Amino acid sequence: MANQTLRVLGRGLVMFVVTLIVVTVLWQGLLWAFHVNPYVGKGPLDIATHLFSGPQAAENRELLFGRLWVTLGHAFIGFAAGLVVALIAAMLFQLNRGIEHALMPLAMLLRSVPLVAMAPVITLVFGRDLWSVAVIGGIVVLFPALVNIVFGLRSASPQMLDLIQVYGGSGFTALRKVALPSSLPAFFAAVRISVPGALTGALLAEWLATSDGIGGGIGPAISQSKFPEVWASVVLVTAAALVLYNLMQVIEDVTLTRMGMHPLKNV
């Protein structure tokens, strides 16, 4: 089991490095292919200079990493809010189909209305603070997480569910002992999908509500033609999303491997 875990960790690290290389090559290649003006389009070397070797690199790092930490905090709030609501709703749907018929249209409505249009109303109702961050981020995370978790809960073995019922177990017992464990792959898939979604929600909330973090800083930087700062902000957010996504992937692989639910022949 220890060797399998190490192989999973090694594979995750290799995939992360490969992803970084591919993204960097595509970034520079697209700048060359479309002949983007160097004043506007900044490449990997420009961002490295801006953050690490330029005359104001220390000040730039302090500013941008400070904003990044704010954005990550906001993303965590939205991620937690959306995932918790999705998990509770999915369990309620599993226990009572009537609740699903009543609440699923609401989730569909939240998904179908553009969040940019809803954000001003959310800001007016909840204010320009963490409540708006939680609501906006939670809405971004909610629907894809809910769909994945519901699918996972309903993928439980019918024979095992029937066995719980034959022995007098309640619906909650079947949920706790059969449906929830069998839904772990779908739950982890929901977590991985929710990580970049939570960052998107955080950036949107900062842009429209709180005016801090990366999302609040990009607008003024664009208006002042601070293009290295704009590109560096995008790079930091993208790198954070890649790191968190791959971290969730490694946690998923290790957990499912230890539980015997991972396709080991592919590990």
Span 112-139, average pLDDT: 86
pLDDT tens string 127-182: 888 888 999 999 989 888 999 999 999 888 888 888 888 888 888 888 888 888 88
- Pair of tokens at residue 111: 């998904």
Q: Concatenate the DSSP letters of all residues of 50-107 into one string.
A: IIIISTTHHHHHHHHHHHHHHHHHHHHHHHHHHHHHHHHHHHHHHH-HHHHHHHHHHH
pTM: 0.88
Average pLDDT score over the chain: 87
pLDDT tens string 37-89: 999 999 999 999 999 988 899 999 999 999 999 999 999 999 999 999 999 99
- CA–CA separation, 122 vs 231, rounded Å? 29
Q: Concatenate the DSSP letters of all residues of 2-21 into one string.
A: HHHHHHHHHHHHHHHHHHHH
Cα dist. 260→12, 152, 164, 186 in Å? 18, 17, 22, 15
Measuring CA to CA, which residue among 192, 205, 228 is closest to residue 71? Answer: 205
CATH 3.40.50.2300 fits 2-266, yes or no: no
